Amino acid sequence: MLISQLFDSISIVGLNIVLSKNVSTIRRLVWFSLILFSTGFLCYQITDRIKYYMKYDTVTKIQVIEHDSLSFPLVTICNENRIASSKAVKKNLHGIFYKLWSPIKNYVDDTSVFNYTEEELTFIKNVKEDWNVIYKELSFNMQDIVGECQLSFKCLYKGQNCSSYFKYVATNMGWCIQFDATNLPKVSNVGVDDGLNMRLAVHQDEYLAPNSPGAGYRILVHEKDEIPLMIEQSLSIGPGQIYSMEATKKSISALPSPYGTCQDDITYKRRYCLLHCLSQFVVKSCKCRQIYMTTNASVCSPIGILCAERAVDKFMETELHKDCACKSECKTVQYEVFTTHARASTFYAQAIAEYHKISERELFDNYCTVVIFFSKLTTMDSKEHPAYNVLALFCDIGGAFGLMLGATILTIFELSDAFMKTIILWVRQRKHKVKPLRITEMLKLESTKS
């Protein structure tokens, strides 16, 4: 028969016994049952492996990479108070900002005292005012914040002043300063003697528009080109303390589709995407923007800020941010910071107070010292890999073929090849009306010709 002759040339264990007419029927039935069972189990195994592959599971491999040197990260520093009281007085804006950010506003029964006068309303509703410039002029400048700053990087002499490496940045805590070491040599040693040492002035007497009930600063250590989310991610430090911040670099790499949903684009940043989406929502709701937002709309006046803050709360609470379709980036760099602190010793306080010609009380109330350094010149590298790739899939399928039928994946091609040759020879036979040959003889004849 055509089928028996076809399968007679296929290398599957026991198949030649099933198709042979010279073997007893019982023996042929036994081998047929074994082959049928093996084929069924083989199909189950192949289906199971394909389903597992289609899950696109991943495994995360973590390794510690040692470096001879590391680039120093960016450091963003924000005072808890965004408006200096004395500067607001000079511009006749003290009353406006006190009513906007008064710490007792939510605790008094009669809030009418915080209503704006007609003169104040006329001024803050003036759309011609450049509120972005006003807010920046009223904030603390770099000289107000950094009482002393020293660097101890390689190629720099110990104690080099670092004030020229600061710049102003707009954040969700107002105008802040940022230390940028991009143009500085890399750090080649660890410890407090090879880092950024700053003495920060708090200026509690200037508090008018605080971001929180506390006094001090918020500090965020982050990678370049990252938006500093100061309210959400920064660390708080207070006056009268000496802080040590040990930074450790961490690199995270995820897999894109089909294994995950991250955006495989080195220029893409999820925070920028979310911020742009939030900015559009705030501008649509309030016709103005906060100073850190990305749109070209004008910056909100004090009254507009209230509207913008409510819009931001609504955007987050109602989960409107989920409609922005902002995927995570596939590659990110983070800095984990471990902070310790201690109260300044009396000996240290007396020496510093005498040097700056201030009282010890003033030093403890309005100054804090921060040292930021690397604790290790290493990167904690976390990478995702496919838990089950195509090669593993084919290996499992090939193993199942060999275990259940004594065959390999090539048996499939052997079967296809024999079947195609049989069809071709059969068509030729019908066309030329030649005497039918046995299939095996036709295959031998075909191979001889080739």
What does the pLDDT look like over 366-402, one tens digit per residue? Answer: 889 999 999 899 999 999 999 999 899 988 888 887 8
Q: Which of 124-133, 251-260, 302-311 has the highest mean pLDDT?
A: 251-260
Q: In angstroms, rounded to a whole number, what is the distance separating the alpha carbons of residues 410 and 403?
A: 14
Checking 259-268 for CB contacts under 8 A at 24+ apart, the result is 259/56, 259/58, 259/384, 259/386, 260/58, 260/330, 260/384, 261/327, 261/328, 262/327, 262/328, 262/329, 262/330, 263/327, 263/328, 263/329, 263/330, 264/330, 265/329, 265/330, 266/331, 268/329
- The pLDDT of residue 324 is 87
CA atoms within 13 A on the CB side of 172: 19
In sequence order, the β-bridge partners of residue 237 are: 217
Q: In angstroms, rounded to a whole number, what is the distance separating the alpha carbons of residues 366 and 210?
A: 15
Which of 58, 45, 61 minimizes the C-alpha distance to 393?
Answer: 45
Lowest-confidence region among 28-42, 178-192, 193-207, 406-420: 406-420
- Categorize the per-residue pLDDT at 435 as very low, low, confident or very high, splitting at 50, 70 and 90: low
Mean pLDDT of 418-441: 66
Q: Per residue in 79-120, pLDDT tens?
A: 999 899 999 898 888 888 887 777 776 655 545 556 777 777
Residue 266 has pLDDT above 90, yes or no: no
> Is the preceding peptide bond at 258 cis, omega within 30 degrees of 0?
yes
- The pLDDT of residue 156 is 43
- The pLDDT of residue 161 is 66
Domain 64-386 architecture: Sandwich (2.60)
Q: Per residue in 188-218, pLDDT tens?
A: 888 888 888 888 989 999 998 888 888 999 9
Q: Per residue in 169-179, pLDDT tens?
A: 999 999 999 99
Mean pLDDT of 317-321: 80
More confident residue, 198 or 439: 198
- Categorize the per-residue pLDDT at 289 as very low, low, confident or very high, splitting at 50, 70 and 90: very high
Which of 221, 219, 223 minimizes the C-alpha distance to 252?
Answer: 223
Angle, CA 441 vertex, CA 438 and CA 445 arms, to 5°: 140
Please tell me the pTM assigned to this model: 0.79
Residue 249 has pLDDT above 90, yes or no: yes
216 within 8 A of 368, measured Cβ to Cβ: yes
Mean pLDDT of 181-185: 83
- The pLDDT of residue 157 is 39
Give Cα 312 to chain centroid, integer Å: 22
Residue 305 has pLDDT above 90, yes or no: no
Q: Where are the domains of the chain?
A: 2-55+394-449, 64-386
- Categorize the per-residue pLDDT at 323 as very low, low, confident or very high, splitting at 50, 70 and 90: confident
